[in-house]
Amino acid sequence: MTGTRARWGVVLCAVVAVAIVVIGVRLFLRSSNHKPAVLTPGMNVHSEFSDALDSRIYRVLHARVLADAGGIDKVIALTFDDGPYPIFTPLLLDRLQDLHVPATFFLIGRDAEQWPELAQRIEQDGDEIGDHTYSHPDLDHETPAQVSLEIIRGRNVLWSLTHDPSVDWLMRPPHGRYNEDTLRVAQRLGYHVVLWTDDSGDWRTVTPEQIVAHVERYATQPDIVLLHSGKLATIEALAAIVQRFHADGYRFVTVSQLLRTLGAGAVNHPIRRSL
Ligand SMILES: [Zn+2]
């Protein structure tokens, strides 16, 4: 009898030990997989973005636990990648004007060169323009010299057309593809690399309802949402997104307004809160 009880005791201890290890590993992976939404020129690229064990441990040790979202502003920055494109960009700008919300456009230099009046309208509407390179390559496949050239050439085209100062310090890598070298080149050029807290998934073929549902489900505080310029479903989703976030007390801002008011720290450790 005593032997049986002892055996059950051992089994119970083993089950508890396994559960603790599983939970520990899951927590470690969750914290260590967390990468910043915005890389500032002063941040350490390796610690913040590498998948190496030392970086993962660094991120776990520096993960911020924010239990109370009360003190953080409810702000959301809508960001639109690519273009400008005829038809889609004017439609998108009309919708944003109707809704009275600003947005940040990461424009491709080559497309802006082809449709200069569209780039200029984005600026005239009071929206923000960031650098999305000149020809939209996968920067993780380019040499540092090529990365530098792509960013500078994109910036020069956008600056010559619009004079938005944000083209000088906000950039987003095409397809969200980068490596440590890519990020260091952008830093050296004085850029904040702007990624996102929520990839809406609108680059896949999805319906407006799916985009709205995704943005609500993965809402964070503060929030930077990745959207795209050439998609009708995205334009159709906007009214519902704006209505839902307004109803929840969010304020719509550009990326530079978000960074200037809250700083990169808040957006790199956002509170996750589905609407
Ligand atoms: Zn793009």
Pair 122, 107: CB distance under 8 Å: yes
In angstroms, how far is CA 249 from the centroid of its own chain?
21
Q: E-assigned strands of 181-242?
A: 192-194, 198-199, 220-221, 223-228
Q: What's the 246 CA to ligand 1 centre distance in angstroms?
A: 27
At 33-73, the pLDDT tens digits run 888 999 999 999 999 999 899 988 888 887 765 545 556 78
Can you give the pLDDT at residue 23? 76
Q: What's the 227 CA to ligand 1 centre distance in angstroms?
A: 10
Q: What's the 132 CA to ligand 1 centre distance in angstroms?
A: 7
CA–CA separation, 38 and 267 (whole Å): 7
Can you give the pLDDT at residue 63? 75
Can you give the pLDDT at residue 67? 46
At 171-204, the pLDDT tens digits run 999 999 999 999 999 999 999 999 999 999 998 8
> Virtual CA dihedral for 119, 123, 125, 130, nearest 10 degrees?
90
Can you give the pLDDT at residue 65? 56
Catalytic residues: 81, 228
CA–CA separation, 49 and 265 (whole Å): 15
Which stretches in the chain have pLDDT values below 50? 67
Six-digit token string for 28: 């470690």
Pairing of strands 128-131, 104-107: parallel
Q: What's the 35 CA to ligand 1 centre distance in angstroms?
A: 20
